[in-house]
Amino acid sequence: MRTRQILCPTDFSETASHALSYGIEMANLYGVSLRLVHVMSEPFSEYHYGVAMESAEQLDRQIKAAADENLDKLKAQILQDLNHGLTVQTVLRKGDTLDQILEESKVGDVGMIVIASHGHQGISHLLNPNIAETLANKAKCPVLVVK
């Protein structure tokens, strides 16, 4: 852990931002770099986002452009808080969120994953898969789940 990167998945939510602050703190403590990953989910159809598009490819390009822009903004903010000499690498993946985070943790020389939990309860917990909980059980490295 002490020589490997910290992986911080983000969905650009306030909860993910809160978890990211823990990731930054851990990176500074251990003197390791951060790896920020966002996973774009596959749209159900070109009408999934409620936006009229000419094609599914156009929708995909617009989603990717928005995600890239958000990752660049986050990277700039993170670099201000990281100790001198530490870096941030941004990664944009597409597919199943859990599978892509697990894959990134394997290929990215990751020593720890810091992820947010949205804290769904009751029926909402049943309807929304808990990525953080499942990730903590399947990852090969330590996982810090932040509420």
The confidence score (pLDDT) of residue 130 equals: 82
Per-residue pLDDT of the chain (147 residues; tens, 9 = 90+): 667 999 999 999 999 999 999 999 999 999 999 999 999 976 655 555 555 556 778 878 888 999 999 999 999 999 999 999 999 999 999 999 999 999 999 998 899 999 998 755 544 444 456 889 899 999 999 999 998
What single string gives the DSSP state of each residue in the chain? -TTSEEEEE--SSHHHHHHHHHHHHHHHHHT--EEEEEEEPPPSSTTTTS---S-HHHHHHHHHHHHHHHHHHHHHHHHHHSPTT--EEEEEEES-HHHHHHHHHHHTTEEEEEEE-----HHHHHHS--HHHHHHHH-SS-EEEE-
The confidence score (pLDDT) of residue 59 equals: 79
The confidence score (pLDDT) of residue 43 equals: 60
The confidence score (pLDDT) of residue 109 equals: 84
The confidence score (pLDDT) of residue 125 equals: 41
Domains plus CATH for the chain? Answer: 5-146 (3.40.50.620)
The confidence score (pLDDT) of residue 112 equals: 97
